[in-house]
Amino acid sequence: IDLFDDCAQNLKNNVANPPPVRFNFEAQTACPEIA
Tens-place pLDDT, residues 1-35: 455 577 677 667 666 566 555 555 565 555 555 44
Q: What is the pTM of this model?
A: 0.29
CB 32 within 8 Å of CB 23? no
Over the Cα atoms of the chain, what is R_g? 9
Alpha carbon dihedral 27, 29, 30, 33, in 10-degree steps, equals 90
